[in-house]
């Protein structure tokens, strides 16, 4: 099946892969170090002449709060701008498969404008804009020069909705003002003192939306939201040197014993953070077009490829590009090509070819070559989405062994690992690179009679950034802030019988 022409394929893979490059020395910097360096570089580029004094009606608050600002000792009768310094966050990925870490760059936002009076004074108001929490510089500009500055602290706030519902209710924890600094950028959810997953807001401007399902018996259940840069909640908050971070507590009431649904399913794939991986434009000869009736789907799903502008009445071959191997043994991994099939063009140089999506890796889209002889005339991409094949058996008494079979698992450092929750308790992670996208999760049924919830979330397998520690944790903010390709959650159910 496989054409192991590794050398040629490796050259092709290098040609199609792109990404941002960060040296290992740079990647080891913490968020705070990177932020301080960015601010220092930005400050060096500004003309500063701090002649003025700034007074604020408050030095801390929440996004949306209105703040009164008074400045004095400035240039008289001169326009001024009040500028709020924030950050823009992004995920750094190298060569489209290696996760480097999170990075932040400063950005300036004009929040108010005015003109000083004859004595060089001005008073005005502004609202704290949407963005990251923690410390922010407020800069006063006159004639393109910073003439005064102040500091403001933005609090991190979390809310939860709904607060009640039957088992399986989708619970959403929203956060705003999450920090870009190491100790306030990574948060975690515990459900009934069981670790459920992490909350990030790196590419969402400090705003987070974490999603999980309510599980357990009828009655009240405890939820805590706690920060922890080392990858888990930091619980001895009162003894921490970082004394401005609070623990957030919520209560959810399960109102019924019957769940919302007893079906197992895969959610619709979300959009990846930053718009996702940017694959290079397919290379087509002049006049050649290659299209698919859909650009993504699950293993076994039929797809129709149409190509035009090809040589007339010629045999066309279709090549499928993939990766094969493992990153945890000496054998390693590398690109491979296999034959997807062939067809013949008509007297207009057009060909239509239907095929089933191969049983292969998900994650990055697969390149498809359209070849006449040994020459590539056109290309296109097809992405394999995760699919839930079966839960077998789907019911039984406590102690029953059951297997969840998944296809379309990815292979890159940001989509190779998926995190498994059993009734909102993180029990471990799974990978499907070595088995070409197929994962069999073997679990043992535990709990009270009734339905047990198994939720499988995207995570980040590994990366170069050391802290915060994002790796191998359920990413509850996967719908908006997971890097790479946009991976859906998988929702499985098992019924424990009497």
413-464 residue pLDDT tens: 999 999 999 999 999 999 999 999 999 999 999 999 999 999 999 999 999 9
For the chain, the helix, strand and coil percentages under 3-state DSSP, each to the nearest 5: 10, 45, 45
Token output for 479 = 């719908």
Over residues 39-92, the pLDDT tens digits come to 454 444 567 899 999 999 999 999 999 999 999 999 999 999 999 999 999 999
- DSSP-assigned letter for residue 280: P
Please, are residues 481 and 276 in contact by the beta-carbon 8 Å criterion? no
Residues of the chain with pLDDT > 70, as a percent, come to: 91
Pairing of β 395-396 and β 401-407 = unpaired
Radius of gyration (C-alpha) of the chain in whole angstroms? 27
Provide the mean pLDDT of the chain. 91
> Around 312, how many Cα atoms within 13 Å sit in the side-chain half-sphere?
2
Question: Which residue spans within 74-227 are E strands per DSSP?
Answer: 79-94, 98-115, 122-127, 134-142, 145-154, 157-161, 164-165, 170-176, 187-191, 194-199, 208-213, 219-227
Map residue 45 onto helix, strand or coil.
coil
pLDDT of 2 strictly over 50 = no
103 bridge partner residues: 90
Map residue 237 onto helix, strand or coil.
helix
Band (33; pLDDT cuts 50, 70, 90)? low
Band (37; pLDDT cuts 50, 70, 90)? low
Please, are residues 151 and 54 in contact by the beta-carbon 8 Å criterion? no
Pairing of β 490-496 and β 395-396 = parallel
Q: What is the pLDDT of residue 442?
A: 97
Over residues 94-131, the pLDDT tens digits come to 999 999 999 999 999 999 999 999 999 999 999 999 99
Pairing of β 164-165 and β 248-254 = parallel
Phi, psi angles (nearest 5°) of residue 217: -75, 165
> Around 379, how many Cα atoms within 13 Å sit in the side-chain half-sphere?
17
CA distance 82 to 126: 9
CA distance 396 to 175: 39
Give Cα separations from 141 to 42, 43, 128, 149 (angstroms).
15, 13, 18, 9
236 bridge partner residues: none
pLDDT of 20 strictly over 90 = no
Please, are residues 187 and 178 in contact by the beta-carbon 8 Å criterion? yes
> Around 17, how many Cα atoms within 13 Å sit in the side-chain half-sphere?
20
């Amino acid at each position: 099946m496989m054409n192991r022409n590794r050398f040629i394929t490796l050259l092709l893979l290098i040609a199609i892969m792109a990404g941002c490059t960060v040296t290992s020395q740079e990647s080891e910097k913490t968020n705070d170090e990177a932020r301080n360096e960015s601010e220092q570089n930005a400050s060096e580029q500004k003309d500063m002449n701090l002649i003025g004094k700034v007074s604020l009606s408050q030095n801390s608050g929440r996004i949306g709060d209105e703040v009164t600002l008074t400045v004095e000792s400035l240039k008289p009768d001169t326009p001024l701008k009040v500028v709020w310094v924030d950050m823009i966050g992004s995920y750094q990925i190298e060569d489209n498969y290696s996760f480097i870490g999170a990075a932040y760059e400063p950005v300036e936002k004009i929040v108010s404008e005015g003109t000083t009076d004859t004595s060089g004074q001005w008073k005005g108001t502004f609202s704290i804009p949407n963005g990251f929490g923690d410390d922010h510089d407020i800069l006063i500009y006159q004639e393109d020069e910073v003439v005064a500055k102040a500091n403001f602290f933005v609090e991190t706030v979390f809310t939860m909705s709904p607060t009640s519902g039957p088992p399986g209710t989708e619970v959403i924890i929203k956060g705003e003002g999450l920090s870009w600094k190491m100790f306030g950028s990574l948060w975690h959810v515990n459900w009934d003192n069981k670790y459920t997953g992490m909350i990030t807001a790196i590419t969402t401007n400090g705003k987070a939306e974490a999603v999980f399902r309510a599980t357990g018996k009828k009655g009240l259940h405890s939820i805590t939201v706690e920060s922890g840069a080392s990858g888990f909640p930091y619980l001895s908050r009162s003894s921490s040197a970082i004394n401005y971070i609070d623990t957030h507590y919520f209560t959810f009431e399960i109102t019924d014993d019957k769940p919302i649904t007893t079906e197992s399913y895969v959610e619709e794939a979300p959009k990846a953070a930053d718009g996702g991986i940017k694959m290079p434009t397919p290379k087509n000869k002049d006049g050649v077009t290659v299209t698919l009736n859909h650009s993504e789907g699950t293993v076994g799903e039929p797809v129709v490829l149409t190509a035009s502008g090809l040589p007339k009445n010629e045999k066309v071959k279709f090549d499928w590009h993939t990766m094969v191997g493992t990153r945890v043994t000496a054998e390693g991994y590398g690109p491979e090509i296999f034959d997807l099939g062939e067809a013949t063009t008509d007297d207009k140089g057009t060909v239509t070819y239907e095929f089933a999506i191969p049983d292969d890796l998900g994650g990055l889209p697969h390149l498809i070559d359209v070849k006449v002889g040994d020459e590539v005339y056109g290309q296109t991409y097809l992405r394999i989405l995760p699919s839930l094949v079966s839960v077998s058996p789907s019911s039984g008494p406590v102690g029953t062994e059951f297997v969840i079979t998944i296809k379309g698992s990815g292979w890159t450092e940001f989509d190779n690992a998926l995190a498994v929750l059993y009734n909102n308790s993180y029990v471990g992670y799974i990978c499907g690179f070595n088995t070409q996208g197929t994962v069999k999760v073997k679990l043992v049924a535990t709990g009270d009679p009734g339905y047990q919830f198994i939720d499988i979330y995207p995570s980040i397998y590994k990366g170069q950034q050391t802290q915060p520690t994002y790796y191998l944790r359920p990413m509850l903010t996967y719908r908006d802030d997971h890097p790479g390709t946009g991976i859906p959650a998988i929702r499985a159910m098992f019924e424990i019988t009497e």
